[in-house]
Amino acid sequence: MKFVATPRSSADHAQLRQRLFTCRCDCRLPHIHRLHCPPPPGLTAQDIFEWTLFTLCQTLRVLIDRFNAKLYDRKRRWPSSLEDVFPCGQSSLLDSLMAWAADGASGFAVFSLIASVASTPTNFKQDVFRTPRVFALATAHLEAALDRYPTEHVSARVLPRFQATLSSCVADFFSTFGIGNPPAAKIMLHSILERQYAIALRMQAYLEPGREGMTGLCRAWFDLVCSRMGATFVPRGVAPPLPDYSRGMLATVWGAIVGMRSAKCTYAGCQLFARPTSSKVCARCGVARYCSPEHQASAWKAEEFPHRRVCKLLETLRAAIHMEDSKEWNSLIYDPEAGRSSREFLGRCHENNVNPALGKDIMVALGMIRGSFAR
């Protein structure tokens, strides 16, 4: 919380983002080297930062909501008091969050945190209503999301990012402040009503009728906006549905496979900074790369997360999606020219009804999740 609440100037924010985009880790240390791998094709440092900030704000929102509801022992969990929610003072928190929100790519994430902090027994909610720029920025993020990902052409790859913008700006922010509170809605929409109405017309092609949860909150907000313009919000729901949890697991496995195939050497104890010209790929799984036979042997019999465990699972995965051919498999997971995304891999998993439990087993073998989580 202190990270996002610390007051910074525009120049300080630009410098901070530059530092976050630049890795300064000492990869000569084995335990540090093991955590590093190239990002999956199609993802940039900005994409990763955008999703990381969204996850951070969502986590803080959940913790603050639990604090408000007194659902846990304050002596053991954060936050234990309002001072934890306002580490740099209440007067400066909104300005600090607005500095994050000003970023056109990742700023949407902080609006869920603003809504959660506004539910605390403080004057923060009044500070938000005295700052019309907050509502204008949230509207601008929705407009940018619709321009970036037109709803009638939303694909499975970008849909989660589009969904994240809706979740933060509409389901968490506008709905929290406006639904069930006509005076508050009137204040919020005073300067942005026409822009919100234009967004509502475009969103009709995305939201599905009859859905509850986040979709229901978005539908309720846009219905409120349309009613103030004398119209009715009619969701048509032509966009494809979100991937389910098991599909997300397989997408994570695909990212790990691409990282291993693109690495300099998969052995955790290797300290190479550049990939040697003589590096070899494991003939059995076609994923793990090694700089020498010695490192391959060491990785195979390592005490912690030995390659022999994941190798058999990866071989099973290749057979499940009928990609035993090494050339075809290599083209799928390692083809810089093609700029591969996870779409083709996930499509094959879906066509062949791959059991999501296999993806969990691979993640356990790689040390990405604990074994108990996969049971």
What is the predicted pLDDT for the residue at 68? 62
CB contact at 8 A, 306 and 366 = no
Mean pLDDT score, 136-141: 91
User: Which pLDDT tens digit goes with each residue over 174-200?
Assistant: 988 888 788 888 888 888 888 998 888
- Supply the pLDDT for residue 373: 34
DSSP string, 100-155: HHT-TTTGGGHHHHHHHHHTSSSSHHHHHHT-HHHHHHHHHHHHHHHHHS-GGG--
Q: What is the pLDDT of residue 277?
A: 63
Per-residue pLDDT band at 139 (split at 50, 70, 90): very high
Task: Give the separation between CA 373 and CA 368, rounded to whole angstroms.
Answer: 10
Predicted confidence at residue 365, as pLDDT, reads 84
218-235 pLDDT per residue, tens: 888 888 898 888 887 877
SS3 42: coil
Please indicate, yes or no, whether the overall pTM of this predicted structure exceeds 0.75: no
- Give me the chain's average pLDDT, please: 77
In the prediction, which pLDDT does 114 show? 92
Q: What is the pLDDT of residue 41?
A: 55
Question: What is the H or E stretch that residue 254 is in?
Answer: helix 245-262
Token digits for 182? Answer: 């006509």
Q: How far does the chain reach from its first CA to its final CA, in angstroms?
A: 33
Four-residue CA torsion sign, 32, 35, 39, 45: negative
**How many degrees, rounded to 5, is the angle at CA 109 between CA 195 and CA 143?**
20
For 114-132, how does the pLDDT look when each residue is reduced to its tens digit (9 = 90+)?
Answer: 999 988 888 888 888 888 8
For 239-257, give one letter per residue: b (16+ CB within 10 A) or e: beeebeeebebbbbbbbbb
For residues 72 and 59, what is the distance between their CA atoms, to the nearest angstrom?
Answer: 16
User: Of 81-85, 134-138, 351-355, where does the model show the most confidence?
Assistant: 134-138
Residue position matching structure tokens 């209503």: 129
- Among residues 336, 328, 337, 247, the alpha carbon closest in space to that of 286 is found at 328
